[in-house]
Amino acid sequence: MDEIHWHEMNFPKVEVLVLIFNSSEYFLPPFLKSMKIFKILMVFNYAPKRAALKGLDALSYLTELKVVHLERLLYIPIQIHNKELQKLEKLSLSLCEGFGNTLNFSNTNLRVFNLDHCSDLEIFPSSICHIPYAQIWSITNCHLVQNLPYNLGNLVNLRVLSLSALPILKELPASIGNLEQLDYLDISLCDGLRQLPEEIGQLKKLSELDMRECSHLTRLPKSIFGLSSLKHVICDEKIGKQYLQVKSISIPILEVEILETHFSLDWLDD
Q: What is the mean pLDDT, run by run of 10 residues, along the chain of 270 residues?
A: 78 91 90 88 93 84 90 73 74 84 67 90 80 92 91 94 95 95 97 94 96 92 94 93 94 92 53
Q: Which residues touch 242 (CB under 8 Å, ≥6 apart)?
A: 219, 220, 224
CB 32 within 8 A of CB 58: yes
Q: Which residues touch 238 (CB under 8 Å, ≥6 apart)?
A: 218
What integer pLDDT is reported at residue 77 of this predicted model?
A: 60
Which of 46, 158, 143, 149 has the alpha carbon at shortest distance from 110?
A: 158
Give the helix/strand (H/E) hosting 21: strand 16-21
Which of 130, 133, 97 has the alpha carbon at shortest distance from 115?
A: 97
Beta bridge partners of 52: 25, 74
What integer pLDDT is reported at residue 267 of this predicted model?
A: 46
Tens of pLDDT along 33-86?
888 898 999 999 999 999 998 888 788 788 899 999 999 998 666 665 555 678
CB 52 within 8 A of CB 74: yes
CB 118 within 8 A of CB 145: no
DSSP output for 71-137 = ESEE----EE-TTSSTT--EEEEES-BS-GGG-EE-S----EEEEE--TT-----GGGG--TT--EE
Q: Which residues touch 244 (CB under 8 Å, ≥6 apart)?
A: 256
For the chain, domain boundaries: 1-110, 135-270
CA distance 80 to 60: 8
CB 84 within 8 A of CB 60: yes
What integer pLDDT is reported at residue 268 of this predicted model?
A: 52
CA distance 203 to 73: 36
How many of the other CB atoms lie within 10 Å of CB of 153?
Answer: 19
| CATH number of the domain located at residue range(s) 135-270 in this protein | 3.80.10.10
CA distance 258 to 239: 9
Stated length of the chain: 270
